[in-house]
């Protein structure tokens, strides 16, 4: 298949592109490089630098390449920033997404795999979180993703545009070639590994008095390769669908820090800070639906396997994608 990856120079997009290319698919990456990196683009892929905010640019790119399907990774994804600047999130994650959908309708592309998020669930009323759990976002980031899911349903009904929306939990890990390097890093594992590399003095623990075994938040970590494999399976889905993506387990902040210390063999200093508003004590996914319907099975379920892959990449590329 020929796959058009919007935001494909970012963390998740670049790994998905790598796996698609390994399986013999053709990949076109469309990215403005504000969050992604040019060096994160696989040399086997075709790269188009463009703005999703410019409807004419995305429509011309689709018209010229004629892909079989689109994978949509482009989004702003910082919860805290979304609380300070909601306009940025609704404009990019919803309005710019509409440019993509309208360009797809115009050019006859009728299949999309969408990067959604567990943030649509807010403070979940039950665990594990399955697809029937009520969506109730508590920040503009989650609200913007949920809004776009609703748009997708209408475009399916009216235009016949088939979609699969994948609600990620905590993506982590790396391949040998591509890993996690955000210009503003908020994710726990890369920040802990920066301490192990000597690039940061310590890692912050936000809240130590949660109702969990060690008092710190528990999250469901999923290996980036397992996440990418889910995207490839989603291309074969017959009908539009919504799927949660996690491993069904959970690791606390202290457990992640301990695992990083064990894998790296280095001491990781910590600083305890107050809770952040809106952080749920536990977020754990049920991925039974995608397992049953698409046959997805995560291959890297242990936290240590995820951390080990991330550490190997960070050791190999200590400055990330910088020159």
Kindly list the catalytic residues: 141
What tokens does 50 get? 């463009």
d(CA 282, CA 215): 11
Sign of CA dihedral 136, 140, 145, 150: positive
d(CA 205, CA 203): 7
> Which of 258, 260, 136 is CA-nearest to residue 194?
260
What tokens does 253 get? 């902040």
What tokens does 321 get? 């994608």
d(CA 42, CA 14): 7
Count of Cβ atoms closer than 10 Å to residue 213 Cβ: 10
Residue 108: what are its φ and ψ, rounded to 5°?
A: 80, 20
- Omega of the bond prior to 201 within 30 degrees of 0, cis? no
d(CA 148, CA 76): 13
The length of the chain is 323
- Omega of the bond prior to 128 within 30 degrees of 0, cis? yes
């Amino acid at each position: 298949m020929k796959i058009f990856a919007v935001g494909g120079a970012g963390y998740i997009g670049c790994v998905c592109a790598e796996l698609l290319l390994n399986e013999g698919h053709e990949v076109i990456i469309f990215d403005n490089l504000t969050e992604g990196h040019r060096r994160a683009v696989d040399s086997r892929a075709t790269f188009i630098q463009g703005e999703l905010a410019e409807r004419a640019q995305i429509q011309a790119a689709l018209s010229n390449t004629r892909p079989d399907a689109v994978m949509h990774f482009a989004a702003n994804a910082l919860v805290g920033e979304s609380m300070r600047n909601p306009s940025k999130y609704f404009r990019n994650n919803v309005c710019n997404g509409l440019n993509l959908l309208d360009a797809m309708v115009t050019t006859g592309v009728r299949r999309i795999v969408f990067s959604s998020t567990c943030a649509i669930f807010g403070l979940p009323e039950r665990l594990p979180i399955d697809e029937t759990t009520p969506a109730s976002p508590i920040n503009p980031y989650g609200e913007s993703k949920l809004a776009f899911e609703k748009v997708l349903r209408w475009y399916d009904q009216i235009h016949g545009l088939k979609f699969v929306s994948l609600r990620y939990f905590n993506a982590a890990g790396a391949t040998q070639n591509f890993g996690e390097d955000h210009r503003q890093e908020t994710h726990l594992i890369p920040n802990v590994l920066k301490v192990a590399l000597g690039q940061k003095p310590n890692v912050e623990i936000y809240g130590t008095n949660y109702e969990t075994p060690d008092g710190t938040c528990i999250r469901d970590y999923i290996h980036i390769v397992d996440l990418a494999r889910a995207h490839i399976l989603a291309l074969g889905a017959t009908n539009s669908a919504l799927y949660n993506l996690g491993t069904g387990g959970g690791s606390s902040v202290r457990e992640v820090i301990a695992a990083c210390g064990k894998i790296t063999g280095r001491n990781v200093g910590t600083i305890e800070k107050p809770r952040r508003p809106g952080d749920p004590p536990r977020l754990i996914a049920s991925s039974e639906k995608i397992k049953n319907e698409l046959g997805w099975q995560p291959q890297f379920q242990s936290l240590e396997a995820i951390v080990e892959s991330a550490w190997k990449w960070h050791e190999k590329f200590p400055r990330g994608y910088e020159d």
